[in-house]
Amino acid sequence: MNTHPLGLECARTMSASAGVSSSTAASSLRSAVDQRRVRVLVFIEGTNITGAVKPVLEFAREAALEAPSPHFELTFVLYVRRNLETILYRTMQERNISIESVRESCPWDIRVIPQLRAIARRHQPDIIWTNNTKSHFLVRLTGLHRRAKWLAIHQGYTKEAWRTRIYNQFDRWSHRAADRVVTVCNDFAEELKRRGVSNNQIRLLHNPIRPSAVVPEGEKLRLRAELGLKEGTLVLLSVGRLSTEKGHADLLRAVATARHQFQPSITLLLVGDGPERCRLQRLSSELGLDEVVRFVGFRENIRPFFAVADLFVLPSHSEGSPNALLEALDAGVAIVATSVGGVPEIVKNQITALLVPECDIPSLAGAMVEMVNRPALRSLLSRNGKDVVRQYSPERYFASCAKIVLELQ
């Protein structure tokens, strides 16, 4: 995990050797800073715990562990349309996170502007932290970035609703005004530079992964029964939003290409939902994969799926620092992935994963066949992958991200 201005020296936080523990790094941070609280106003959007949301929740969780004298006083600003009974809102309540709700009736509801200004006046933040393109735009539009230092998180772009594409274009204007733009891989950092963001503004920080508890055998057996997984069938797993840039159509075509080469037979689980689901289901049927592919839909708890999987496949055309990849490493599942974005910064070909070019269906099919048919290779790569996870602990993420926040003070 790195935190550095692009093209400049690496941040001292993450240049520490592996011999320095994450707890030592966090302790050093605490001793280096006075006990004054830093008020942080975090703008966040969503209803579920998505990949973009997980890192900031991990930061909040680690910040809470500094009690009774925390350095960071966090308040989350959440956009709400119908009701507050969402997974994200419930999770924040369970973690005792301070929440301000901004009511809106549609994505472009201008009535959010006076609400945001009122919240900023009440809290008088030292830092404004924006976690999505909509909030980036609104913070600059309303001038809130003139009242506090501004940290913008850039997780990359998706190709979906028209309003999202418009927000993405607004980022060209928004990001230039931020004091720091934290992005998750070198490719995205280069893209930010092309959009006019300076080296001095950019920091690179991969997402964290919190080690998960072992899934009980009974829970795995229940899931296998629910999904109708036959004894002896190897389970291929792909987790993520069903949108174009995630490459699931390539995965289905690769499975169809290699279907009769797998020894033993396989079942592919697609966990997630999104705008491409209906199209992908039609494609699966057209390819004759109805007996092989299971569309599981969105699941709040995905740990049991990693527990029953023999191979994790990430076929994306674009990625930053994919949480699902880190979760597969943590679960000890062998990995086949496209070499895009931050993926090759996290895993190495033939060492911790098999990497293939994006949009290359024959290569993707070949890598899956090699993994399925060679259990010793799966075992080797999964063991190596477990060692990688420690580099992306929440403690290290907190220390690195906190350093970026504190350098703005």
Tell me the domain boundaries of the chain. Answer: 12-208+393-406, 217-390
What's the CA gap between 156 and 45, in Å, rounded?
15
Centre a 10 Å sphere on the Cβ of residue 23 and count the other Cβ atoms it contains. 12
Q: Who has greater pLDDT, 255 or 160?
A: 255
pLDDT higher than threshold 90 for residue 98: yes
pLDDT tens column, 340-378? 999 999 999 999 999 999 999 999 999 999 999 999 999
The pLDDT of residue 8 is 33
- Residue 164's pLDDT is what? 62
Which H or E run includes 282?
A: helix 277-286
What pLDDT, on a 0 to 100 scale, did the predictor assign at position 159?
Answer: 57
Q: Does residue 143 surpass a pLDDT of 80?
A: yes
Weakest mean pLDDT among 188-192, 253-257, 277-281, 385-389: 385-389
- Candidates 374, 385, 362, 283; CA nearest to 315 is 362
CATH superfamily of this structure's domain 217-390: Glycogen Phosphorylase B; (3.40.50.2000)
What's residue 35's pLDDT? 56
CATH superfamily of 12-208+393-406: Glycogen Phosphorylase B; (3.40.50.2000)
Q: Which of 290, 296, 283 is nearest to 239 (CA)?
A: 296
Give the pLDDT of residue 4.
39
pTM of this prediction?
0.84
Q: For 13-22, 99-108, 309-318, 328-337, which range has the lowest pLDDT when averaged over its residues? A: 13-22
Q: How high is the pLDDT of residue 147?
A: 92
| % the chain with pLDDT above 90 | 69
